[in-house]
Structure 1
Amino acid sequence: MTGVHSLLPAGQPGLLVSPVFGAEPYRGVEDLARYLAAGGYAPLTARDRFLDLIAAVGLRGRGGAGFPAAVKLRAVRDAPGRPVVVANGEEGEPGSVKDRWLLRHRPHLILDGLRLAAAMTGAEHGVVYLSDPRAEQAVRHALAERPAGPRVVVVRTDQAYVAGEETAVVRRIEGGPALPTAKPPRPFEAGVGGAPTLVANVETLARIAVMHACPDVAPALAGAHLVTVSGPGGSAAALIEVPAGTHLKVPADLCGHGMAEAVLLGGMFGGLYGPGWTDLPLDHDALKAAGRALGCGALHFLRPGDCPVALATEATAYLKAQSARQCGVCVSGTGALAGTLAALARGETGAGPTQQLRRWSRQLPGRGACGLLDAAARIVATLLTHFPDRLDAHRGSGCPDCTDEAPDDGRRFAVPVP
């Protein structure tokens, strides 16, 4: 199964009814007339009341961290200076397509969300930040035909895992490289040009725009998530909107992954999960309690017989290659994790390196300027937790999936945009 699908109560697979996807998701780029007919760009008459609604329904950011959207909006609004708002569409995670799909197909929805965020924070200047050429074309066309609103510019960057991190976004907008900077200050304190800056994921802005047009369904919209489902080599890939608390087995069954041995949860950030993955709910708090993370909502499944050690080896090799190389601990940490895991995967080591991996996976999180090192450590830690027997089986003799040099370009996890 490919394409986009909604599992919201109003719809069913194959018969899409979703305010976020729109009524006609396969008709190409949504133009202004269609968006206005759906209630778009309506005046915001009570910005504080609308912000209270966002807080009341518990909308969280969809960039990966799941931070409460209302808290972030209020922090930017209340900081001294004239704010800047940024629609962050740089989808560095190779297994995710939700942001590119929204920018390509519903650019007015994103611009409307940016307009509302500007009104709630008092910003007069907005930026759409992206790396996808087709998305850029759609956004520029939508900007040319939209109604009057805040001044908005488009800034394009090169796709990279760290390029969407909020301080990297600010740095690139200001003309520098898309690499993270030390914190504090956070962008909400001092971002673009030193002004308080809201860096909001495009799905977050899309949900804000839909909530404004359809306030009666705001609670359901706030809890739902766009998830990208895929398997080896992008097989059985789909972009699915799931209601809050949906168990992982539901989208897996829909895409033919119901018998999977394991899942890489939340893209690179959430880690591996083995037996019992079917009962995991797609909910930030529930996953955090289980020591996992939803991240950007990318779900990569392993078929029965696929080697989780090979997957972890490729993931850590990719993260090592994507390091910004600004933090010594990240350079050495990702290198140690990837190199040791690769040697172990090829059957070249004994029991000692397993203990090293266990120690590093506990010591490294939180020591880098961004979440890349944390992601690498979590992948290794969860491999050790869920598949210790598979690691033991590699000692002294590798397996067919692990004998070749692991590619570091993320090709295993890449998914085509529907």
Structure 2
Amino acid sequence: MTATAEPTHGPLPAGIMPATAWGTARLLAGTTSGRVDLARHRALHGVPRRADAHHLAAALEAVGLLGRGGAAFPVATKLRAMPVGRRGHVLVNGSEGEPASHKDRTLMYLAPHLVLDGALTVAHALETERVTVVIEDPSAFSSMAAAVRERTDARRVRLVPHDHGYVGGEVRAVSRALSGGPAVPPGRRVLPTEHGIGGQPTFASNVETFAHVALVLALGPEEYGTVGASGEPGTTLLTLLGDVPHRGVVEVPTGLPLSALVGPEPGPLLVGGYHGTWIDRPGELTLDRPALRAAGVPLNAGVLARLPGGTCALGEVATVAGWLASESAGQCGPCFFGLPALTDTLHRLASGRATTEEVRRRAGLLPGRGACAHPDGAARFVATALPVLEDEIATHRTHGHCGRPLLGALPAGIRRAAA
């Protein structure tokens, strides 16, 4: 399959990537002319349908909708865990703090009304008017604010700038910040559906998930399921980076071979972003979250990045590891001490002064010991790179370098100001 829709026309603000739909656009419908305003949105998607919690959960379960953030949790299960009533909250988490991921901010900028439709649909089902959208990117914030002003049913929607970094964007950290506390994850693993904003039950998910909720009701489960993989029907957004045929944000049907997206050639391929997994080639893997998780390569936030052959791949990994260490909340040992030590060992490996086993041992000390999943994800990012980069590491060990420059194919260290 090849791209059948043109990238978004016109200049885009910083932080917003060109967006293309492969096949029939759903999330990106109408965006080839730029931002979709309310009139255009209604012409494309109609007036949003409403359902109570029981019927909405049934519709989401019928299509097997999975969250489009890191956990890929069944959305219907999360909805059924929420009590119905005024004390509940709905939280749209748009704090996309990873520099490699652009899909949520691009969706908020181009199709803000689809996101609002989904959030208001969930709020109606839960019989609450408490809807909060947290947004890091300033252009996405401006677009969402304009969308709220354009419609009468969103007057109670609260938009909150959120620029608390990568770990501060974790949903429990966001809930704490909105409750007046620090933007760091709590030490105990309590779900937002039990204890969220202000200690109240909170239905929280990322931006793309809410847009899919709107699509399920607008299309109906049967029509929604006419595209995509049988185990995960529909479409999904991805951010494609590096040496790939089409860089930017893409909407594609699930079930596509990864090789159609990144090319079939061997070479270091990162699946899932900076808490993701390195593989040496796409092979027979397909874009299907349950299948990828079963293969040990979860899609996480939907980033696919192939390193170009002209860059120092080990240097790219070490640079991102350093960025991950700098994003630590600093509240537990694995992050405060472990991540900087891991980064230092990686740099010594790149200069031929450390061994792969030393790096592997450092990474193995981190998982399962932190207050959140950040050390686990960082350790996975580093540990899975080692076998993929085995030949390059051998060259570094012999010569202290590989002879290639560091091109910065994996962005790191860019922090955008909140709106």
The answer to whether the superposition gives a TM-score over 0.5 is: yes
The answer to whether residue 257 in structure 2 is matched with residue 250 in structure 1 is no
User: Where does the alignment leave 5 or more consecutive residues of structure 1 unmatched?
Assistant: 12-16
CA deviation after TM superposition for structure 1 residue 396, in Å: 4.5
Q: Report the counterpart of residue 82 of structure 1 in structure 2.
A: 87
The CA RMSD measured in Å over matched residues stands at 2.8
Distance 1:44-1:250 versus aligned 2 partners, 3 A rule: same
Aligned counterpart, 1:99: 104
Task: Provide Cα deviations, 1:126-145, integer angstroms capped at 9, x if missing partner.
Answer: 00101111111111111112
Task: Please give the secondary structure, in 1, of the residue aligned with 2:33.
Answer: coil
Aligned-partner Cα distance in 2 for 1:406–1:38: 39
Tell me the distance in 2 between the aligned counterparts of 1:295 and 1:331.
24
Contact 1:270-1:295 within 8 A present in 2 as well: yes
The answer to whether structure 1 residue 281 and structure 2 residue 291 are counterparts is: no
Q: Which amino acid aligns with 2:139?
A: R
Deviations 1:149-188 (A, max 9, x none): 5721111011521132111111222233322222232211
Check if 1:385 corresponds to 2:387: yes
Deviations 1:7-60 (CA, angstroms, capped at 9, x unpaired): 3xxx2xxxxx312101x2132221111112223443414542232010121101
**DSSP-derived class of the 1:198 partner:** strand
Task: Please name the residue that 1:61 is paired with.
Answer: 67
Identical-pair percentage: 37
Change (3 A) 1:184 1:348: closer
- Any idea what the Cα deviations from partners look like across 1:292-311, whole Å, max 9, x if unmatched? 22011111111235333122
Mapping for residues 84-233 of structure 1, pairs under 5 Å: 84-148=89-153, 151-158=156-163, 160-215=165-220, 216-219=222-225, 220=227, 222-231=233-242
Matches of 1:97 and 1:106 in 2, distance apart?
14
Distance change in 2, residues 1:282/1:407 (3 Å): closer
Aligned partner letter, 1:371: A
Q: What is aligned with 2:13? A: none
Question: Are the counterparts in 1 of residues 269 and 279 from structure 2 also a CA contact under 8 Å?
Answer: yes
Matching residue's letter, 2:197: V
Contact 1:88 1:129 in 2 (8 A): yes
SS in 2 for 1:161: helix
Aligned residues between the structures = 395
Q: Distance in 2 between matches of 1:201 and 1:168?
A: 14
- Residues 388-413 of structure 1 show CA distances to partners (whole Å, capped at 9, x for unaligned) of 332232224222568889999705x9
> What is the DSSP-based 3-state SS (H/G/I as helix, E as strand, rest coil) of the residue aligned with 1:303?
coil
Residue 81 of structure 1 deviates from its aligned partner by 7.0
What CA distance in whole angstroms lies between the structure 2 residues aligned with 1:247 and 1:192? 39
**Offset at 1:386?**
2.3
Structure 1 residues 378 and 205: CA distance shift in structure 2, 3 A: same
With the length of structure 1 as denominator, give the TM-score of the two structures.
0.87
Kept in 2: contact 1:318–1:408 (CA 8 A): no
Is 123-132 or 30-39 further displaced after alignment?
A: 30-39
Corresponding residue number in structure 2 for 1:19: 26
Deviations along 1:95-147, one digit per CA (max 9) or x if unpaired, are 11110111111111111100011122232210010111111111111111213
Q: Indicate the SS of the match to 2:181.
A: coil
Per-residue deviation at 1:88? Answer: 0.8
Runs (5+) with no aligned partner, structure 2: 8-17
Secondary structure of 2:237's counterpart equals strand
For 1:414 and 1:297, locate their aligned partners in 2 and report how far apart those are by CA, in whole Å: 20
Counterpart residue number, 1:5:
20
CA–CA separation in structure 2 for the residues paired with 1:408 and 1:109: 30
Residues 87 and 200 of structure 1 are in contact (CA less than 8 Å); yes or no, is this contact kept in structure 2?
Answer: yes
Query: What is the SS of the residue equivalent to 1:229?
Result: strand
Aligned twin of 1:14: none
Deviation at 1:199, TM superposition (A): 1.2
Deviations 1:215-246 (A, max 9, x none): 132224744221110117x9952211222221
Alpha-carbon contact 2:98-2:166 (below 8 Å) kept: yes
Residues 49, 121 of structure 2: 8 Å contact kept = no
**8 Å contact from structure 2 (residues 168, 329) kept in 1:** no
2:353 counterpart of 1:343:
no
Q: TM-score, normalised by structure 2?
A: 0.86
Contact 1:190–1:197 (CA under 8 A) maintained in structure 2: yes
1:82–1:375 distance in 2 versus 1, CA, 3 Å? same
Question: Does structure 1 conserve the Cα–Cα contact (< 8 Å) formed by 2:316 and 2:408?
Answer: no
